[in-house]
């Protein structure tokens, strides 16, 4: 897998938008002409897997064409594998990962929990993408603050996991894993809480070594397109399952900003792998 760039979307909290970011990143890369393989490690939920199943069905039913990533299921029965031993789950993961040979990018969506295969995926990453919502509830997934002063007191167990993966990777391959935290679903107006959160995120970024970038807002268009297996990058004169508006233009610009933050331009026909 030395030629593929491995992107892992992860944190240990549900509802932060991991699958949304993973789906949009995979489709944007595919539109840029990259050969993209995807692995969904959320064995019970399988949001990304279901999305690409819907995509294949919708495109066939509507005689439409759009780039399709290569989906490599870790198991035909994810719920059963989620109950299996760590050894069996890891064996299945490494087998599926090995099937991604020849891809330009391997994009891995992880569950909102600490699992053996999630840790293994983080250790293989070239780029870790961690979405967080605009609140101290999500910040707790990265670090803890003093309840009186709101000063940063320590980093979280997830930050520790990423830190350990980066140290092991650097010792083994002399390569540092890049880590980007995306500020997802930002509130539309500035507020005192936003300023406090910004200060703590930036302080933690310097302490544990991640970059901060913009995420995706909570837009209706993302939810409208999901049942069809489509993203904002797919919309065209031939693919338009919902009415278009100026908000869709803003959403496309938003996705382009995410790709730029990751070190990738997935909407302009260029692929800039993060170093």
How far does Cα 161 stand from its chain's mean position? Answer: 17
| Average pLDDT of adjacent 10-residue blocks, the chain of 275 residues | 81 86 95 94 92 96 95 90 93 94 94 92 95 82 77 83 91 90 72 78 87 90 94 92 84 92 64 40
C-alpha span between 249 and 247 (Å, rounded)? 5
For residue 181, the model assigns a pLDDT of 94
Phi, psi of 182 (to 5 degrees): -100, 125
Percentages of the chain per state (helix, strand, coil), in multiples of 5: 45, 15, 40
For residue 28, the model assigns a pLDDT of 93
Query: Angle at the Cα of 177 (from 109 to 26), degrees rounded to 5?
Result: 30
CA atoms within 13 A on the CB side of 185: 15
Contact of 191 with 197, CB cutoff 8 Å: no
C-alpha span between 174 and 166 (Å, rounded)? 10
Parallel, antiparallel, or unpaired for β 105-109 and 5-9?
Answer: parallel
Question: What is the 8-class DSSP label of residue 241?
Answer: S
What are the strands, taking DSSP E only, across the chain?
Answer: 5-9, 36-40, 70-71, 105-109, 127-133, 143-145, 152-155, 178-184, 211-214
Sign of the four-CA dihedral 145, 216, 107, 34: negative
User: In sequence order, what are the beta bridge partners of 36?
Assistant: 105
C-alpha span between 224 and 228 (Å, rounded)? 8
Cα-only R_g, the chain: 18
Angular region, 35: left φ>0, alpha ψ -120 to 50, beta rest:
beta
For residue 197, the model assigns a pLDDT of 82
For residue 269, the model assigns a pLDDT of 52
Parallel, antiparallel, or unpaired for β 152-155 and 143-145?
Answer: antiparallel
Q: What is the dihedral of CA 177, 181, 182, 183, to 10 degrees?
A: -170
Phi, psi of 7 (to 5 degrees): -110, 120
Nearest to 16 by CA among 89, 109, 107, 117: 109
């Amino acid at each position: 897998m030395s030629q593929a760039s491995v992107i892992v979307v992860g944190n240990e909290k549900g509802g932060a938008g991991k699958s949304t970011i993973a789906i949009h990143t995979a489709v944007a890369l595919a539109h840029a002409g990259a050969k993209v393989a995807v692995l969904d490690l959320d064995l019970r939920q399988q949001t990304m897997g279901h999305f690409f199943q819907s995509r294949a069905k919708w495109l066939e039913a509507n005689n439409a064409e759009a780039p399709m990533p290569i989906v490599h299921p870790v198991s035909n029965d994810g719920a059963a594998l989620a109950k299996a031993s760590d050894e069996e789950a890891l064996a299945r993961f490494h087998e599926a990962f090995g099937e991604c040979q020849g891809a330009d990018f391997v994009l891995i969506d992880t569950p909102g929990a600490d699992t053996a295969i999630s840790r293994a995926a983080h250790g293989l990453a070239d780029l870790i993408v961690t979405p967080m919502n605009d609140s101290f509830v999500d910040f707790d997934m990265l670090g803890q603050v003093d309840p009186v002063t709101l000063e940063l007191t320590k980093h979280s167990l997830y930050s520790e996991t990423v830190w350990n993966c980066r140290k092991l990777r650097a010792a083994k391959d002399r390569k540092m894993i890049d880590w980007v935290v995306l500020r997802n679903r930002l509130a539309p107006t500035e507020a005192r809480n936003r300023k406090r959160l910004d200060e703590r995120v930036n302080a933690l970024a310097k302490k544990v070594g991640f970059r901060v970038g913009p995420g995706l807002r909570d837009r209706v268009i993302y939810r409208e397109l999901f049942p069809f297996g489509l993203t904002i990058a797919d919309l065209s004169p031939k693919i338009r399952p919902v009415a278009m508006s100026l908000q869709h233009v803003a959403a496309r610009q938003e996705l382009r900003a995410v790709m730029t933050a990751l070190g990738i331009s997935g909407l302009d026909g260029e692929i800039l792998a993060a170093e």
